[in-house]
Structure 1
Amino acid sequence: MAVSYIPENKVFAVCTYQLSSAPQKFSHSRSTFNVYYENTKQPILTVDDRNVKVEFTCKSPANLAGTLLAFGAGLAVGALVFLSGPVGWIAFGVGAAIFVGGAVATIKAVNHKCTDPLNGGQWFLAHNSVKINGASAITRSSILKCGNSGVLTPFFDEASANAAASSIASKNKWELGINVVASFGAGFFLPGAFTGFGAASVAGKIWLAGGRFIAGFAVFSGINYAFRGGIRWGHENVGDVSDNTTYDRMNNHSENVVNRETGKIEEQDIDQNSLWGAPSKPDDFVQDSEDIIEIKKESGAWYKITSYKRGTVAGKITNIAESRRVHASNVNLQRQLANLEGLSRQQLRTNPLARQLLTDLNNGKYPEWRNAARFYNSGRMNPSMVDDGQAVAAANSKNSLKSLASNSVQGALFLIPFIGTIFSEEARVDLAQGMAADLAAEPGGSKLVATTPVD
């Protein structure tokens, strides 16, 4: 299938990290070019062109600024509540210093420019056999990964680009707000974690001083990796983007590219789920400092989540607080059933999604839903079955989240970053769905097309 090349001034850019609600337009980075689309103001872009005409407001620096401000404020207030004397004033001063650091980061976030991070990024899925001014051409199929980890794709239809950009910005603003709340809570409760420091053993002091935070980051990273993987598994297998090419490529595509700093060839991916990553906000280290959570993958999409409670000041695990099996598809089932809400019996009888869910029910995929159905009919879906399914899926999702929390406020704070992960993942889905909408609205793209889009 032929696919369009990318002319400047004609193609919109949408980014998974944008906080601004409007798309921008891709721009050239090269100083010289001689291949144009329709006029000299529309050069054909290549992998050397990694820029946009107007800067996006990016969630990456905004997230750092907001969480530093919140963590510093929480730490200062928590020091006054939990500590006294010189130690309390020292902690208060540290919190105030972090708050000032957050203010400086806020100024930088306001003045953030996309140019440097984008120039440090990489185009994937280029048309490598077609060179324009010595560089591989890019097409509608190409995806740009920014140095700040955002993913940008080209849109030809302005309405589709506007819709995708607005939805992504909304998700990112929710994520930012959630992270600010989590960081304030983490800062507020942190001083209380040191109240027994003076009476602790040497091992206890080592644990309280730093060991617990290193272990906490490791455990949190592992849990978030599994949680994010479960969300992506659901979208790829039963979600609205199960057959979406863009979403599949974001999750699974990698290429051998030349590292511009070292000159060495290395494998890079677009946006695969990774276990380890640099901490991006203060609460990454302290979010689970009271509880240790272990997550193990079982058969299929099932995960076993076990919560352990710290029993001594040295961090010795003394008992299991709670253990539960969690299924990755609860959120996706809720989304699917929401699409069937309000449909009549006749509409459900012919609806493809309703027919597929009925087949899944009859094959035993959702036993809890089937057992809870008041008027189960193996021959056709009915409105009461939809209502009962929504109730069961909502209850399962609620119970799954409860299994990650302790009975304390700190336990509730432990959950907040996972909610932020949901919004982050949904922003990626918005981009993939927006690309599908763009292709449907503007299937021809530009008049300059490649017969082999990727090689």
Structure 2
Amino acid sequence: MAVSYIPQDKVFAVCTYQMSSAPQKFSFSRKKINVYYENNKQPVLTVDDKNVMVEFTCKSPANLAGTLLAFGAGLAVGALVFLSGPVGWIAFGVGAAIFVGGAIATISAVNHKCTDPLNSGQWFLAHNSVKINGASAITRSSILKCGNSGILTPFFDEASANAAAHSIASKNKWELGINVVASFGAGFFLPSAFSGFGAASVAGKIWMTGGRFVAGFALFSGINYAVRGGIRLGHETFGDVSDNTTYDQMNNHTEDFVNSDGQVEQRDIDQNSLWGAPSKPDDLVQDSEDIIEIKKQSGPWYKITSYRTESVMGKITKIEETRRVHVSNVNLQRQLNQLEGLSRQQLRTNPLARQLLNDLNNGKYPEWRNAATHYNSGRMNPSMVDDGRTVAASHSSNSLKNLTSNSVQGALFLIPFIGTIFSEEARVDLAQGMASDLSAEPNGSSLVANIPVD
């Protein structure tokens, strides 16, 4: 099937990283031009042409700026909440410095230009047997991979380009918002990991200052790799792009290129990869300390299991911490409230008071027994009731607070992977947009290649 070459001004560009909701147009950037489409204002583009007429608002610098601002603000607030003294002020200062760095990055993001990242990018699926001014021609089938990792494709139909650009921009804005929330939470809870630094062993200090970040990034990368792979496999197998050529090429196509040293190296368009440079602060600090499991047991008990990564003699291991929490304290508090105001004589004959005294003597409520100022193993008294109510209320409050904190951290651990879903769906939007474009403008321009890719 013949496929159109790409003349300037006739073809729109849509990028998977764009946050602006409109498409732009591809522009020439090579120095020599002597092949035109219809007039001398419409050069036919080649692999040397890697620019757009109007810059996109790019999610890459916006993500960096937004997450640095959020992480720095969260770290500063968390330092005031979890730490005290010189360590707390140092952490607060670090958070403030990161926040300032985020402000600087924001200025850079606002002034972001596509030219440098695009020039460091690469055209794939070019028409290598057709040279224009010494460079391979590009066609409707070609895909430009930006140096910031965005993917750009040509559209001939303006309506299809507008629809794809609008949908992609919406996904990227959601992803940015999610990353900002996750980064603020990561910064806020990070100081709590250093609360026991002074009393920790040498191995513990190494873990706190470096090991946990390496382990966190490894865990984050592994799970994110699996999430991306699962999403792509689902779309390729069952989704609306299961037979979409563009989507298949984005995920699976590789080519050989000659690098600046004259060596041949293989590059892919956008294959799923396990390792990559951290792109935002929570990539490093989201680790297994944030994961909890809650299961209801018999009666008023809940079992809370925290999966925590720790260092034992310098070796990183995974252990479980299991405890029963607040429901028992809430139940005890309710029972003691029924005994409030009863006299010694009334408590002596009250069945509930007698049962609670028996539980106390059998060691069921050690915190209450230790807190009782006038404990009497032979009979319940008003002082014991008052002390028990105080202990139950305190433990219930603390357990609820711990459960809330753990639950929030567990949610924060999951949030970045929700951002990955939006990122992957933006790629699907591009592939579906390309299919719509081909349906709306099957002929493209009148300048076509009978063999589109070689």
**Short-chain TM bin:** 0.7 to 0.9
Paired AA for residue 278 in structure 1: A
> How many percent of aligned residue pairs carry the same amino acid?
84
Q: How many residues align?
A: 358
Paired AA for residue 310 in structure 1: R
Alignment of 1:250-261 (within 5 A): 250-259=250-259, 261=260
**CA shift digits 1:78-106 (9 cap, x unpaired):** 00000001100000000000000000000
CA distance in 2, matches of 1:232, 1:406: 33
- Cα shift at 1:413: 0.2
Q: Is residue 173 from structure 1 mapped to residue 173 from structure 2 by the alignment?
A: yes
Q: Is residue 96 from structure 1 mapped to residue 105 from structure 2 by the alignment?
A: no
Q: Is residue 128 from structure 1 mapped to residue 128 from structure 2 by the alignment?
A: yes
Gap change, CA 1:79 and 1:141, over 3 Å in 2: same
**CA shift digits 1:230-285 (9 cap, x unpaired):** 000000000010000000000000000122x4332100000000000000111110
SS in 2 for 1:309: strand
SS in 1 for 2:29: coil
What are structure 1's unaligned runs of at least 5 residues? Answer: 294-306, 322-404
Q: 2:84 matched to which residue of 1? A: 84
Gap change, CA 1:207 and 1:30, over 3 Å in 2: same
- Does the 8 Å contact 1:183/1:283 carry over to 2? yes
Q: Is residue 433 from structure 1 mapped to residue 432 from structure 2 by the alignment?
A: yes
- Cα shift at 1:316: 3.8
Q: 2:319 matched to which residue of 1? A: 318
SS in 2 for 1:408: helix
**CA shift digits 1:210-235 (9 cap, x unpaired):** 10110110111011001100000000
Q: 2:353 matched to which residue of 1? A: none
- Does the 8 Å contact 1:196/1:313 carry over to 2? no
Alignment of 1:193-232 (within 5 A): 193-232=193-232
Gap change, CA 1:138 and 1:170, over 3 Å in 2: same
- Does the 8 Å contact 1:200/1:313 carry over to 2? no
**CA shift digits 1:107-145 (9 cap, x unpaired):** 000000000000000000000000011100000000000
* TM-score, length-scaled by structure 2: 0.77
Could you say what the CA RMSD is over the residues aligned between the two structures, in angstroms?
Answer: 1.8
Paired AA for residue 408 in structure 2: V
CA distance in 2, matches of 1:177, 1:263: 42
- Cα shift at 1:291: 4.6
Larger Rg: 2
CA distance in 2, matches of 1:165, 1:132: 29
- Cα shift at 1:407: 4.8
- Does the 8 Å contact 2:291/2:410 carry over to 1? no
Q: 1:72 matched to which residue of 2? A: 72
SS in 1 for 2:416: helix
CA distance in 2, matches of 1:312, 1:171: 37
CA distance in 2, matches of 1:160, 1:80: 51
Q: 1:366 matched to which residue of 2? A: none
* TM-score, length-scaled by structure 1: 0.77
CA distance in 2, matches of 1:77, 1:29: 47
CA distance in 2, matches of 1:318, 1:448: 65
CA distance in 2, matches of 1:288, 1:77: 20
Q: 1:421 matched to which residue of 2? A: 420
- Does the 8 Å contact 2:62/2:109 carry over to 1? yes
CA distance in 2, matches of 1:31, 1:316: 58
SS in 2 for 1:190: helix
CA distance in 2, matches of 1:228, 1:253: 17
- Does the 8 Å contact 1:19/1:58 carry over to 2? yes
- Does the 8 Å contact 1:291/1:406 carry over to 2? no
CA distance in 2, matches of 1:254, 1:164: 25
Paired AA for residue 131 in structure 2: K
Gap change, CA 1:39 and 1:413, over 3 Å in 2: same
Q: 1:309 matched to which residue of 2? A: 307
SS in 1 for 2:154: strand
**CA shift digits 1:298-347 (9 cap, x unpaired):** xxxxxxxxx971275756422398xxxxxxxxxxxxxxxxxxxxxxxxxx
- Does the 8 Å contact 2:289/2:306 carry over to 1? no
SS in 2 for 1:318: strand
Paired AA for residue 67 in structure 1: T
**CA shift digits 1:379-401 (9 cap, x unpaired):** xxxxxxxxxxxxxxxxxxxxxxx
